[in-house]
Structure formats: C-alpha cells, structure tokens
C-alpha cells in the first residue's frame, strides 16, 4: 500500500513538471515605439521556447541588444530593445538666407528657413523631419527685382539694363551739358522693389539761375566776387573789419534755387577781456 502511494506522488510530480515545461505564452507586449515583426503579428499564443523579435516603428532606430525575446514556461524574457527617435541631421544651407532648428533635428522636429532682407523665398518655410529624412527641399532665396526708373528729363542714369535691376543695385544720375542736378545723385534698388529715394532728381538749366547781389557786409567788406551777374556756382567772399569776428561762412555760393548758400555772414564786435 505504501509503494502504490509513492508511485502516485511521483507520477503527479512528473505530470506537473511536464505541464510547466510545455506551457505556452500569450502575445508579448511591445516596448515603447516598437512592434512585433510581421510574421508574428497574427499569432495570439506562442509555444514554449518560441522566440519572437521586434522592429522599431517608423521614425525610430534600434538601440540595445538583443532584439528578440524567448518564451520559457509561459513567461517571456525581458525586452531589451530600445527604439530611439531617428535623427535627420544637417539639412544644408540656403544661399542668402538661414536655416534654424528650433526643436532639434530628430523625427517629428521641424526646421524653419528664412531669407535675408532684400530676398524673396521661393519654396516652403517649414520642413519636418520624417521617418526617411527631411520631408521636402530647402527653399531658394531670390533677390528682389526693381523696374528701371523713369527717364530723366535733360539727363540720364547709368548703368542701363535690359529688363530689371536687383536688390542693392545702384544707379548714378547725370545731367546734360548746361544742366545741373537738383536732388540725389544716386538711387538704390530696395527690398520694397522700388528705387530709393523714390523721387528722381531734376536737371535744372543753369542759364536760368541768377542770385541777387548780396550787397555790403556790415562791419566788413567783400574781398572777391564783385562781378555780376551771379550765376550758378558763383562765389562771393567776405572778411570782417579789425575788432570784429565773423559768424557764419566767409564764402557763399549761388545755388540752383537762385539763393546764396549758406546765408550772408555777420561781423560781431569782439570784446577784450580787459574791457569793462
């Protein structure tokens, strides 16, 4: 009777061990940003000693080893695979512009491209880092164009181009013989697409310029510029009498507006330190 009991116990232990050793595993739980490889996706249970592997989701790259786990007596071994965000890296440069990475250059981050002053962007401003790299091309920065300025009466400008000028191109104005330039001598193509200063100069006929005789200088005298008429760029020079100092310019010039520039000087009495 005792022998029969011992035999039953031993048989029970053998059956229990056999069941434990052959116990299958349920579907394993994947770690962050990973999934079971395709051939394992449809299975719900896995026999003992099964080995399955994981793959990182799109946009993530594998780190850590091994990539597989093993079913042992109903329990999966620990998942050691780590899936990190992939890095799109350096996207390149934009000529006449810049590229900024406000968030970084990893999967899901974005870059922002911009153009320098005077240049227009052709293309996208924002590009995202995708699973297979940057999802788009960097834009191109083109210089702002300016139409040629209007013709200058009794004058011209240079250089001349056939179609358009571009940002920071400069033109120089000049007048025909017998005319003088009244206004800016140059203009520059600006970021607004217009030449600045916006208003072109005038070419004034110098034969029409006449400045009135400045007359006598109180407490002083004229030393040059006696001959009339006083036309464009004619000059008159003064000096003060002894004991007086000049306030203003000693030489004045006849301008295009038929006025003297600067105005007539003054001679003021110079007090000495020992005077009461």
pLDDT per residue, tens digit, the chain (276 aa), is 444 434 343 334 333 343 445 799 999 999 999 999 888 888 899 999 999 999 999 999 998 778 899 999 999 999 999 999 999 999 999 999 999 999 999 999 999 999 999 999 999 999 999 999 999 999 999 999 999 999 999 999 999 988 899 999 999 999 999 999 999 999 999 999 999 999 999 999 999 999 999 999 999 999 999 988 999 999 999 999 999 999 999 999 999 999 999 999 999 998 865 544
Whether 151 is in a domain gets the answer: yes
> How confident is the model at residue 63, as a pLDDT?
85
Whether 91 is in a domain gets the answer: no
Whether 240 is in a domain gets the answer: yes
Whether 253 is in a domain gets the answer: yes
Q: Compute the distance between CA of residue 178 and CA of residue 66 in angstroms, rounded to an integer.
A: 92
CA dihedral 239, 242, 247, 249 (to 10 degrees): 20
Find, among 215, 205, 208, the residue nearest to 252 by Cα.
215
List strand residue ranges (DSSP E) for 116-234, in order: 119-122, 126-130, 133-134, 140-143, 145-146, 155-158, 165-166, 170-175, 179-182, 186-189, 195-196, 202-205, 220-224
Find, among 265, 252, 254, the residue nearest to 219 by Cα.
265
50 and 72 Cβ atoms separated by less than 8 Å:
no
190 and 214 Cβ atoms separated by less than 8 Å:
no
235 and 225 Cβ atoms separated by less than 8 Å:
yes
For residues 202 and 160, membership in a common domain is answered with yes
Tokens of 269: 């009495």
> How confident is the model at residue 180, as a pLDDT?
96
Q: Is 117 left (phi over 0), alpha (psi -120 to 50) or beta?
A: beta
> How confident is the model at residue 228, as a pLDDT?
86
Final residue in a domain of this structure, among 52, 85, 118: 85
> How confident is the model at residue 239, as a pLDDT?
96
> How confident is the model at residue 16, as a pLDDT?
39
Cis peptide before 193 (omega within 30 of 0): no
For residues 139 and 193, membership in a common domain is answered with no
**Residue pLDDT, tens place only, 219-243:** 999 999 998 899 999 999 999 999 9
Residue 273 sits at φ, ψ, to 5 deg, of: -65, -30
Final residue in a domain of this structure, among 85, 110, 131: 85
Whether 139 is in a domain gets the answer: yes
Residue with tokens 């200063």: 197
For residues 200 and 214, membership in a common domain is answered with no
For residues 192 and 215, membership in a common domain is answered with no
- CATH value at residue 172: 2.10.70.10
For residues 135 and 153, membership in a common domain is answered with no
Whether 92 is in a domain gets the answer: no
Range(s) of the domain holding residue 247: 209-269
Give the number of domains in the chain. 4
End-to-end CA distance of the chain: 152
For residues 40 and 75, membership in a common domain is answered with yes
Whether 71 is in a domain gets the answer: yes
Whether 6 is in a domain gets the answer: no
Query: Quick one: the chain helix, strand, coil %, rounded to 5?
Result: 10, 40, 50
> How confident is the model at residue 37, as a pLDDT?
87
Q: Compute the distance between CA of residue 136 and CA of residue 140 in angstroms, rounded to an integer.
A: 12
For residues 201 and 218, membership in a common domain is answered with no
Final residue in a domain of this structure, among 206, 239, 255: 206
């Amino acid at each position: 009777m005792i022998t029969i009991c011992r035999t039953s116990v031993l048989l029970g232990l053998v059956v229990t061990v056999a069941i434990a050793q052959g116990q299958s595993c349920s579907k394993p739980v994947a770690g962050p940003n990973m999934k079971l490889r395709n051939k394992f996706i449809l299975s719900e249970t896995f026999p003992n000693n099964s080995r399955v592997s994981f793959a990182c989701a799109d946009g993530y790259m594998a780190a850590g080893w091994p990539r597989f786990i093993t079913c042992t007596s109903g329990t999966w071994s620990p998942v050691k695979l780590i899936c990190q965000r992939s890095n799109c890296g350096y996207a390149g440069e934009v000529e006449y512009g810049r590229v900024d990475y406000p968030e970084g250059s990893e999967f899901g981050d974005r870059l922002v491209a911009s153009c320098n002053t005077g240049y227009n962007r052709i293309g996208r401003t924002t590009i995202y880092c995708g699973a297979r790299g940057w999802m788009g091309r960097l834009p191109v920065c083109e210089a702002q164009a300016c139409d040629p300025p209007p013709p200058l009466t009794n004058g011209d400008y240079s250089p001349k181009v056939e179609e358009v000028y571009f940002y920071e191109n400069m033109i120089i104005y000049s007048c025909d013989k017998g005319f003088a330039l009244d206004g800016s001598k140059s203009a520059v193509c600006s970021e607004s697409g217009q030449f600045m200063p916006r208003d072109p100069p005038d070419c004034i006929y110098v034969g029409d310029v006449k400045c009135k005789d400045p007359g006598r200088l109180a407490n002083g005298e004229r030393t040059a510029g006696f001959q009339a008429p006083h036309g464009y760029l004619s000059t008159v020079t003064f000096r003060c009498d002894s004991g007086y100092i000049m306030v203003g310019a000693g030489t004045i010039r006849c301008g295009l507006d038929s006025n003297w520039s600067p105005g007539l000087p003054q001679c003021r009495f110079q007090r000495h330190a020992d005077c009461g």
